[in-house]
Structure 1
């Protein structure tokens, strides 16, 4: 993981980056269920899942979110930190064996209402499967230092 310093002014609206990809495995389902306590049958019971509209087990939404966001962490920006996520939506299910990647687009920049020396950069995330389908979207709010004059 590399370090890259980007100040508020360095982010360009509309610029995009694409992450590497990761295949979701059954082990991911089991580990995530154990970590969160979410053993909902849609994720863990293959026989039950056959009776649903999807016909098979689906990934936890929070698993898809965690992996999709984790893929964006390819560098550390020492002058920025995550301020949270807005507008999170699960668009399509993710199945065991699906390979996902994340596309990040700089969507908005605005001054911080609390800190004159910082701004909020909104990164629009789209998590996409191997078929080119968007499976999840979210806005990541990044609190970022401004350059000093």
Structure 2
């Protein structure tokens, strides 16, 4: 669905939570193939049994990609991703974990070099089925401002 949500339309402290998505072994295998990251932490079940977590863990980049995709429900023609900051993985993601993403608008500010745009910061927190945080980051959106109408026009 397409929407037009301008900078002025974003509300600080507004929040939403996505539906769940369960991580599968296929997710991990496909991601390893796409990225070339075949480290044993993700691929070798027997070796992982000897490690602190005792089982394979999902790639951080897989968790990130899935989480970002889960937040992309509406297509806003007035905004685009400007970047991500402070990406952290405080807990592992295992095969069979179900993830949800909590999105919280934490800040709005003018863009320092683009007068017609502002920057909206979304705090993303990814939680598993036990409500443990497995990933956190700040998603920065470059968002178009409404242009003031020309008051001198007839």
TM class by smaller structure: over 0.9
Correspondence for 1:11: 10
Tell me the SS of whatever aligns to 1:71.
Answer: helix
Tell me by how many angstroms 1:5 deviates. 1.3
Tell me the residue number matched to 1:36.
35
Question: C-alpha separation between the residues in 1 aligned to 2:8 and 2:112?
Answer: 16
1:46 corresponds to which residue? 45
- Separation in structure 2 between the aligned mates of residue 20 and residue 82 of structure 1, nearest angstrom: 21
SS at match of 2:32: helix
Q: Which runs of 4+ in 1 moved over 2 A?
A: none
Q: CA RMSD in A?
A: 0.5
Residue 126 of structure 1 corresponds to 125
After superposition, the C-alpha distances for 1:89-108 in whole angstroms (9 at most, x for unaligned) are 00100000000010000011
* Distance apart, 1:122 and its partner CA: 0.3
Long gaps (5+) in structure 2: 149-154
**Per-residue deviation, 1:6:** 0.9
Match of 1:90 in 2: 89
Cα distance in 2 for residues equivalent to 1:19 and 1:5: 20
TM-score with structure 1 setting the length: 0.98
Q: Distance in 2 between matches of 1:5 and 1:133?
A: 34
1:148 deviates by 1.1
| Residues 1:81 and 2:80 aligned together | yes
Q: Distance in 2 between matches of 1:19 and 1:44?
A: 28
Rounded to whole Å, the distance in 2 between the matches of 1:21 and 1:6 is: 25
Could you tell me how far 1:127 is from its partner in structure 2?
0.4
Equivalenced residue count is 148
SS, match of residue 20 in structure 1? coil
Asked whether 1:55 is paired with 2:36, we answer no
Q: Shift of the alpha carbon at 1:138?
A: 0.2
Q: How big is each residue's C-alpha offset from its partner over 1:18-72, in whole Å with a ceiling of 9 and x where there is no partner?
A: 1111100000000000000000100000011111110000000000001011100
